[in-house]
Amino acid sequence: MADKITVKDGKIEIPDNSIIPFIEGDGIGPDIMSASMHVWDSTVEKIYAGKRKIEWKEIYAGEKANEKVGSFLPEETPETIEEHVIAIKGPLTTPVGGGFRSLNVSLRQILDLYACVRPVSWVKGVPAPVRHPEKLDVVVFRENTEDVYAGIEWEQGSTEAKKIIDFIGTELGKKIRPDSGIGIKPISVTGTKRLVRKAIRYAIDNNRRTVTLVHKGNIMKFTEGAFKIWGYELAVDEFRDFVITEAELWDQVMADDGVTPTTKEGAFADLRGGKPAGDSGGRIVVKDRIADQTFQQVLLRPAEYDVLAMPNLNGDYLSDACAAQVGGLGLAPGANIGDFVALFEATHGTAPKYRGMDKVNPGSLLLSGVMMLEYMGWKEAADAIRAALEKTVLEKKVTYDLARQMEGVSPVKTSNFAKAIVANL
Ligand code: NAP
């Protein structure tokens, strides 16, 4: 008998036979969902020999929901996700004039899924634009609810924009050009700390070496700069036994008598590589970097980065940039996670021109399912899928998007790609 996943005493409880709701998705959604499910189910069956199973429960959002019940996002959809704690979805078309900014954004807001988590690592054999894609292995934690994405903005020329410009001018003495549009960038202690807490907790649970706070605090002191300050505060207040800040480690290195400044620099370089010569005592190093320099560092010194935590806009840009570095969004998984509720999803859109053609790459959704299995603690199944996927790519059995970047390779269909992965389990 299948059971619901529950949260008890602050912990997620996963039955061996778990019910997991899924949203098929629009456009290419049905193609990539059925291919991915074939791989997930076959893997769980093979690895746990019937001891564990996922019981899928279809729920509706997007075009399919609109056809069935006349609403793009029926009320019971987020309710069912919340009730079952873990769910997975394909991409959804944003209805034009449907009253939604985006169905994805609505789901995140309704369920307060405040962390967008995007692991980025290279799958062997995937064509990538850099010489050493294998050196990048990061997990981006992007704050999902605040920043300039909070949706608090007014059009140039509107009464509201004018009011705010006048208020800021007369009451606060700051001049804004009268023909400006206005957007508000709120970043709170609450929003920052719950995100950084999740990133550090992840680093501890997954034996990661460093957590980097990525911000633009040199320019935006009271929003991005505060993110950095509150991030360090949280790290030291709540995780003192598990973390050491980069500044503390540097002090240790500098205080170490008999070490010349040059070797101290060397030691610090090692530390940046995640192998601290100063004694981190096995603790996670918490450091911070300015956003623009992080973009060049992930390219030039990728091995020095690990878990990255940042406000919304930085995270939006950096997660796609990192994904591009290892070969693009086709194989980039993602999840939006709250305190416990987690919605795993393909990071690309509905690619409507390929709808029903059994053509596209299911890798992004497939690997989001791998993240989901890890979140459930079904690690053996997650590892098995990753290994089989890699083997399949190395055999050059790939969909059109990867095939067109490889010499002399003919593409396979979505469904055959999934079958090849299952054969390689
Ligand atoms: P898109 O659907 O991601 O497609 C853009 C291009 O990316 C495709 O034409 C294709 O490139 C490539 N691509 C996407 N998914 C692929 C896959 N699985 N395998 C291989 N290639 C893939 O972006 P869009 O055209 O901007 O958006 C279309 C719709 O999706 C919009 O309604 C948008 O709102 C929605 N959307 C939803 C989500 C979500 O649900 N999370 C996210 C983004 C967009 P080639 O043309 O080069 O083959």
What pLDDT score does 414 carry?
Answer: 98
Which residue's CA lies nearest to atom 23 of ligand 1? 349
What pLDDT score does 41 carry?
Answer: 98
> Which DSSP string corresponds to 171-211?
HH-----TT--EE-----HHHHHHHHHHHHHHHHHTT--EE
Extract the tokens encoding 26: 């629009």
Give first-to-last CA distance, the chain, whole Å: 27
CA-angle at 20, arms to 16 and 23, nearest 5°: 160
| Catalytic residue selected from 216, 228, 287, 359 | 216
- What's at 47, amino acid-wise? I
Ligand 1 center–CA 286 separation, angstroms? 35
> 150 vs 391, which has greater pLDDT?
391
For ligand 1, say whether the CB of 349 is within 6 Å of any of its atoms: yes
The pick from 107, 348, 398 for probing ligand 1's pocket by mutation, whose C-beta has the most ligand atoms within 8 angstroms, reads 348
- What's at 317, amino acid-wise? Y
Whole-angstrom Cα distance, residue 169 to residue 111?
A: 38
**What's the rounded mean pLDDT across residues 369-398?**
97
Band of residue 425 on the pLDDT scale cut at 50, 70, 90: very high
Extract the tokens encoding 155: 């059009």
Sequence-separated (6 or more) residues with CB below 8 Å from residue 235: 196, 200, 211, 243, 245, 286
**Model confidence at 197: pLDDT above 80:** yes
> Residue 391: in which H helix or E strand, if any?
helix 379-394
Whole-angstrom Cα distance, residue 206 to residue 278?
A: 22
**Which residue ranges make up the annotated binding site for Mg(2+)?**
316
- What's at 312, amino acid-wise? N
Least confident of 17-26, 44-53, 95-104, 116-125: 95-104
Extract the tokens encoding 348: 């690309």
174 is a catalytic site residue: no
292 is a catalytic site residue: yes
Check if the beta carbon of residue 126 is closer than 8 Å to that of residue 393. yes
Which residue's CA lies nearest to atom 37 of ligand 1? 349
**What's the rounded mean pLDDT across residues 25-53?**
97
Q: Which atom of ligand 1 is nearest to the CA of 91?
A: 40
Band of residue 32 on the pLDDT scale cut at 50, 70, 90: very high
DSSP SS3 for 248: helix
Whole-angstrom Cα distance, residue 219 to residue 225?
A: 8
* pLDDT tens sequence across 334-368: 999 999 999 999 999 999 999 999 999 999 999 99
Q: Which atom of ligand 1 is nearest to the CA of 25?
A: 40
Burial of 27 (0-12, 13-18, 19+ CB in 10 A): buried
Q: What percent of the chain clears pLDDT 70, i.e. is strictly above it?
A: 92
For ligand 1, say whether the CB of 361 is within 6 Å of any of its atoms: yes
Average pLDDT in the chain = 92
What pLDDT score does 276 carry?
Answer: 45
**Model confidence at 95: pLDDT above 80:** no
26 is a catalytic site residue: no
Residue with tokens 């609403």: 71
Which residue's CA lies nearest to atom 13 of ligand 1? 351
Torsion of CA 234, 236, 238, 242, to 10 degrees: 130
Burial of 307 (0-12, 13-18, 19+ CB in 10 A): buried
316 is a catalytic site residue: yes
Pairing mode, if any, of strands 17-23 and 86-89?
A: parallel
Task: List strand residue ranges (DSSP E) for 257-341, in order.
Answer: 284-290, 307-310, 333-337
Ligand 1 center–CA 398 separation, angstroms? 18
| Catalytic residue selected from 60, 149, 232, 305 | 149
Check if the beta carbon of residue 74 is closer than 8 Å to that of residue 60. yes
Long-range pairs, 107-112, Cβ under 8 A, ≥24: 107/61, 107/73, 107/77, 107/78, 107/81, 107/336, 107/343, 108/144, 108/145, 108/336, 108/343, 109/145, 110/78, 111/78, 111/81, 111/82, 111/336, 111/338, 111/341, 111/343, 112/145, 112/338, 112/339
Instruction: Report the 10 Å Cβ neighbour count for 331.
Output: 25
Length of the chain: 425
What pLDDT score does 274 carry?
Answer: 47
DSSP SS3 for 22: strand
Q: Which atom of ligand 1 is nearest to the CA of 364?
A: 18
Single out the residue of 160, 235, 155 nearest to residue 193, CA to CA: 235
Which residue's CA lies nearest to atom 48 of ligand 1? 401
| Catalytic residue selected from 114, 316, 397, 401 | 316
**Which residue ranges make up the annotated binding site for NADP(+)?**
93, 348-354, 361, 400, 404
For ligand 1, say whether the CB of 336 is within 6 Å of any of its atoms: no
Helix 291-300 to helix 312-325 angle, to the nearest 10 degrees?
10
Extract the tokens encoding 108: 């995140």
Ligand 1 center–CA 350 separation, angstroms? 5
Ligand 1 center–CA 334 separation, angstroms? 15
Check if the beta carbon of residue 80 is closer than 8 Å to that of residue 57. yes
Check if the beta carbon of residue 315 is closer than 8 Å to that of residue 142. yes
> Residue 120: in which H helix or E strand, if any?
strand 115-121
Check if the beta carbon of residue 234 is closer than 8 Å to that of residue 193. yes
For ligand 1, say whether the CB of 104 is within 6 Å of any of its atoms: yes
Extract the tokens encoding 166: 């006048």
Which residue's CA lies nearest to atom 47 of ligand 1? 401
Whole-angstrom Cα distance, residue 314 to residue 259?
A: 38
Torsion of CA 163, 166, 167, 170, to 10 degrees: -160
Single out the residue of 335, 349, 350, 328 nearest to residue 398, CA to CA: 328
* pLDDT tens sequence across 8-22: 999 999 999 999 999
**What's the rounded mean pLDDT across residues 119-136?**
95
For ligand 1, say whether the CB of 92 is within 6 Å of any of its atoms: yes
For ligand 1, say whether the CB of 36 is within 6 Å of any of its atoms: no
Check if the beta carbon of residue 343 is closer than 8 Å to that of residue 80. no
> 370 vs 207, which has greater pLDDT?
370
**What's the rounded mean pLDDT across residues 224-246?**
96
Question: What are the beta bridge partners of residue 141?
Answer: 117, 309
